[in-house]
Structure formats: C-alpha cells, structure tokens
Amino acid sequence: MNDHLAAVVRLLSCPDDGSPLHLAADELECASCGRCFSKLTNNTVEILPRRRYDATGLSNAGYLDSYGQAFGEHFHLDEARVAWGAEETASESWVRKRRRQVVSVRPLVTEGIAPRESVLCDIAAGAGYYSFAYAHLFGVVIHCDLSVDNLSYAWCKARKLGIENIVFVRADYFALPFRHSLDRILCFDTLIRGGAHELMLLAGIVRALKPEGRAVVDFHNWWHNPLRRLGLLPNNFCDNQSYSRSEAKQLLRSAGIQCFSHHPFLQEFDLNTPAIRLLSRIFPSTRLIYRFSPSP
C-alpha cells in the first residue's frame, strides 16, 4: 500500500461511529463496528456512511436531488470523466478567476504550518485547483469529494502531472471520516445551499480539525451582485444562496465558531499594482473568505 495512504490512515475515522480505522490487508477496518472500506488504488479509498444523511429538512430541492444521485453512484475511476469547472471545459476568464483565488488564499492556508510535514484536506475539492496548487507545500493532501466525476478527473490529472502525495477519499461531507485530526481544511464554493446546510457542514469541519488546526472557507457575497439577487437581472445562481457579511458571521457563530478572521476577495482584478488595488476598494468583494480555528 502506498506510503501516503498508510500515513493518512491514522487521521481517518469511521463515518458511522467515529472510531479509528486501521489497515487490514487491502482494506481499512473500523476498530468498533468492524466495517471495512476497500481501496480502489494505492491512494484512493471510499469511506461513506452506511446511509446517506437525512437531509429532508434542507430547502434546496435541486441540491437534494443531486446529493441523492451522487451518493448512490457506484464508485469507479473512469478516465473519460470530467469534473465540474475543469480547465479543459471552462472558459479562460472563469479559470483565471479561480486561479486568482488560489493565489490569494495560499497565505491563509500555509501560515503556521511545518512545510512538507502538515496535512491539508480539501473538502468538496472538485477539479482540484487547490489540491494541485498546494500539494508541494504539504506532506499529504487529502482530496475529498462525493462526486465520481470529480474524483476520477482529479485522480487522472494527478497521475498525468506526476503528483504522488495526494490521497483521494470519496466522502460525504455530512459524515466526514475525520475526528479532530486535520491540520488544515479548505472548503470553497460549497457554503451556498442554505442556512441549515451551511450549519451542518461547518459543524463537520470543526469536528475534523485538530484543536490547533485551521479551516479556510468562503461564502458568496450578496452585495457583489445585488441586482441579480433582487431579480432585476437574470438569476445565474439557481437555487443557491449568497450572504451578507453579517449573515456569514452569524452562521459561523451559530456553528460554534467564535475565533475567525475575515479576508475579502475580489476575483475581477489582479491586485498587482497600487492603482488596481485602490480601484478594487470601490467594488464589493466576490467572496467573503473566513479563516477559523475550532477553539479560541
């Protein structure tokens, strides 16, 4: 078994009862309930709960449908699959904005880590913009997603790029397979499904972090495009939700997060000159980025 997956086992927990997992031949076995989770490759494993989360209380009907379909899909790696937002299918301007956020967020993620020794977990990691960009900065990167398309695409791309220290975990973020074991967590473009969803996901992130760990998350800023939110322009955000800064702060506090800092991000500009940095202050930030710890 790959050394990176073997190293990650010590960080993993059963998604059903939270007990530690240990290696048993080519499987990961729960020390309490005895469930076994089989690896697909030397750096890929599926660790889903027995049953999907009862999310009937969530108001986003489109999300509920896609969540149910994704949970029920058979996990296999398929080189023909393409992740949502993959560079090969997205527009150049869209990719450029994502790369700007990768650059902007990097100091928030790496500050205080021991280079090449710490572990980063990217939740709902999608096409892997952050996983690939930060892999050389961490000992191991855990790329978590429920989508078979996203995992297949990212796994294949890592092989093509020759990046060996990314471990791919198919996980349901309502039942993350971590208990107070992670140094750093990222979760971007995911806190968009409504308050109840956001609170459950934030609570799961807090449970997954070490006491001294840090997470970096983002919310879409309602004030970035208020005319669309008010219905005066066509809605391009479907049933998803954006937040004001006060609403985002309230969600964090409601999830038991008291120690956080705010880092606005504006994706439209490369802030590489004083004039552009000054101009950017006129525009509302695209994302409300927060970094937090599980305890003060």
Q: What is the dihedral of CA 249, 293, 270, 245, to 10 degrees?
A: 0
pLDDT at 201 over 80: yes
Tens-place pLDDT, residues 66-92 = 999 999 999 999 999 999 999 999 999
pLDDT at 199 over 80: yes
**Encoded amino acid at 80, one letter:** A
Query: What's the pLDDT score for residue 239?
Result: 77
Q: What is the DSSP-derived secondary structure letter of residue 205?
A: H
Please choose, from the candidates 259, 215, 206, the residue with its C-alpha nearest in 3D space to the C-alpha of residue 108. 215
For 132, the token pair is: 């690939």
Least confident range from 5-9, 157-161, 188-192, 275-279: namely: 275-279
Residue carrying the six token digits 């999300």: 63
Query: What's the pLDDT score for residue 32?
Result: 94
Which residues, 6+ apart, have CB-to-CB distance to 267 below 8 Å? Answer: 97, 100, 101, 286, 287
Distances (CA, A) of 152 to 128, 136, 147, 148: 11, 21, 9, 6
- Dihedrals φ, ψ of 260, to 5°? -145, 160
* Between 184 and 2, residue with greater pLDDT: 184
Query: What's the pLDDT score for residue 3?
Result: 59
Tens-place pLDDT, residues 217-255 = 999 998 876 556 556 555 555 678 999 999 999 999 999
For 263, the token pair is: 């880092």
Neighbours of 250 (CB within 10 A): 13
- Residue 25 binned pLDDT confidence (cut-offs 50, 70, 90): confident
Q: What is the mean pLDDT of the chain?
A: 90
Query: What's the pLDDT score for residue 7?
Result: 80
Tens-place pLDDT, residues 108-155 = 999 999 888 999 999 999 999 999 999 999 999 999 999 999 999 999
Which residues, 6+ apart, have CB-to-CB distance to 282 below 8 Å? Answer: none
Domain 41-293 has CATH 3.40.50.150: yes
- Residue 215 binned pLDDT confidence (cut-offs 50, 70, 90): very high
Residue carrying the six token digits 């750093």: 184
Least confident range from 42-46, 51-55, 98-102, 144-148: namely: 51-55
d(CA 222, CA 285): 9
Question: What sign for the dihedral angle of Cα 19, 21, 22, 28?
Answer: positive
For 86, the token pair is: 């993959």
